[in-house]
Structure 1
Amino acid sequence: MIPIALPLLSEEEAEAARAIVLSGWVSQGPQVVAFERDFAALVGAPYACAVSSCTTALHLALAALEIGPGDEVITASHSFIATANCIRYCGATPVFVDIDPATYNIDPNRVAEAITPRTRAVIAVHQMGMPCDLAALAALADRHNIVLIEDAACAAGSQIWMNGDWERIGKPRGKIACFSFHPRKVITTGEGGMLTTADPELDRKFRLMRQHGMSVPDTVRHGSSQVIFEDYLVVGFNYRMTDIQAAVGRKQLERLAQLVSQRRTIAARYGELLGNFEGLRLPAEPGWAKSNWQSYCVRLPGRVDQRAVMQSLLDQGIATRRGIMCAHREAPYANEKPRHDLHQSELAQDNSILLPIYAQMSEQDQERVADALTRELQACVVYS
């Protein structure tokens, strides 16, 4: 079986986790602090705060900004449903806008059209690791005095040309960037997430709210020679990362450059193998973006049946996934008519598939995927 994704974990990660298990301190502690420091240094952010997932990171971002009922947050429907759900967690209203079909990312022109007096923020998703047009989005946010939040769940290791240099996603351009370390991502801690920001007050709020609003962290109380009674200053959450996860994350972070390089090689090879099939549209980077190729998404030609192609590949031992979902089509949002046209988002979901991609994927497996896909598409074209 060729899986859709496969995390690269080794004895180094196993030994790092083992050491923490045997240390006796397995909850949020010194390894989390070190992971935050390492991640911040890598992406060029003054502050990084580790949490239990990207979903909780997005929720904390909105909660720390005090976004709530009556507020609107513009985002893409074409994203994993957690992006929209986090807005709902706060009682705010998600306003869905369409994507640029070339990049599958939120279209800054559509964002501009959707801004109202109630708009408090924009959540821009770096979909499948492909960077958004941050220059346009940041300028738009500044012009309208709204907050730009980056849903960078898939984008660890991706880069963007800014200020005359290649900079990593996560270096603050808006207010906050939120990352995921789920096993489908380029680096993983099993579950886990991270927020980066340049705002010390927001970072303070993240740290307070991720641990029940507790005025004194566990690490301080356990290390004190004096009895300390903590207070609970706000309604907070249990959004902590464990030291076990953080120890694994630190080892994964050491691999990040290598993992991205291998994925970029695989993406280029897919381009060579599939680039000559008429009507099959391959993903392409804008000149100002370097994707980490967390996913490799192809647009099927004509009226080809997406499900039939996926089933045929699965029958041959090749896993795929449909194009990225659209939240407005799911039950929690389906009863609300979208304010804005989402045609390109729907086409992307219905006509695209994600092919297997992971750092240790062999050339032979890539060829097997490409051969199976082209054979199936040729058969579909013949019988359509």
Structure 2
Amino acid sequence: MTERRGLFPPCDPYREGWLRVSDRHRIYYQEAGNPDGKPALILHGGPGGSIADYMRRLHDPAAYRIVLFDQRGCGRSEPHAGIADNTTWHLVADIEALRRLLGIERWQVMGGSWGSTLGLAYAESHPEAVSELILRGIFLMSEEELRWFYQSGASLILPEVFAAFAAPIPPAERGDMLAAYHRRLFGPDPEERLTCARAWSRWEGAALSLLPDPAREDDFETPEVAVALARLECHYFVNRGFFPEADWLLKQAPRLSGIPVRLVQGRYDLVTPMIGAHRLARALPHAVLRVVPDAGHSGTEPGIIDAVVRATEDLSPRGASRAKASAPPPDPQAPRIPDAAPSRTQRTKT
């Protein structure tokens, strides 16, 4: 085995601010790395997560201009945990508004977990604005995935933890956990709302990585984290991501035919199981899928960090220069092969 890559050194933002995106919402954003570097946008998970310091360390700060933002209702964006005017398509529009504000023509888009969902939705809506995609912990917002994590699947592997997740819900309502949680997370009783938010969030925190992390589980149960994560995830999931039809992301995949794609998936991911990455890789034959054999879902597991950092290095300007320098010179005696005609998807791509 080759030595695993680690994170780049700590990298503080050189710019931060808020962007007003509607009468209700303003989003917090930050930039780090090299202001003249290759633009790269990083999308956090959830819905309901937020920017984390380690995310700025997945790219070489000398080569990349790194952009992050807290999505509507998340982190330092306002209002906290707000669900009004908060859908996938509002977030896609926010990304475009941020790109225009920062004067960026095209950027690399990276996202993990829900960030992979949003990254796909954005790239399929605006392929002309995306130079490459790096997606981790693939989540397609399918019925299969939602049932796996919130109904039956992961519950068979972590039954004692799932029992605690199910505890706030009366047995008669456990046939549809998403609907039962939605009634309580948005119900009139503030004590019940907080109890359910903490149970929801702790379930996710316990399932994130291959090895347990009690400190993370405790952090996920704090009210500030739990309320945003539970309310926004449940809001998005009962509405199936606000997509117009099932498997919308896979059906739109041909729009990405001209964009380099790197996929990273933990083999033992309990939150967004391997089937999503497998299906996406089949829909994107040009994508490179790397399966990490000793990882779950968390973006901070060593094997996941290694795979993601290798992808950012390969796609960096320095990586492209190294690849060009190591390529063999063309053979002047070799016959010329005519350029292939563009495919139908390339001709019709907008």
TM-score range, shorter chain: under 0.3
Taking CA–CA contacts closer than 8 Å with sequence separation of 6 or more, which of the two structures ends up with the larger relative contact order?
1
TM-score by length of 2: 0.27
**TM value normalised by structure 1:** 0.25
